[in-house]
Amino acid sequence: MGFKPLQERFNYYALEDGTILGVKLAVVKVYRLQNPDKSPAYTPEGEPAYYYTTQNITQVLTPDEYKSFRTTA
């Protein structure tokens, strides 16, 4: 199923050694689930059921790089 990312942001974590770790999750593929009879599947709450695959994207920054990046972003 086609899709368009509306927003993908990094989450940043300060590690004990001073390094800044940036992590974001990117959706790679989205599938609309179907029942065995090929009709659309729904969750028990009645919402459309989807399956998706993701990829973790990471970046490693020094504290100075992080400060510089955050002031220009």
pTM value?
Answer: 0.71
pLDDT at residue 20 is higher than 80? yes
Q: How many residues does the chain have?
A: 73
Extended strands (E) in 1-73? 11-14, 20-32, 50-61
In this prediction, residue 73 has a pLDDT band, given cuts at 50, 70 and 90, of low
Least confident of 4-18, 31-45, 58-72: 58-72
* pLDDT at residue 7, as a whole number: 93
Q: For residues 48 and 73, which has the higher predicted lDDT (pLDDT)?
A: 48
**Residue 47 near residue 41, CB atoms below 8 Å:** no
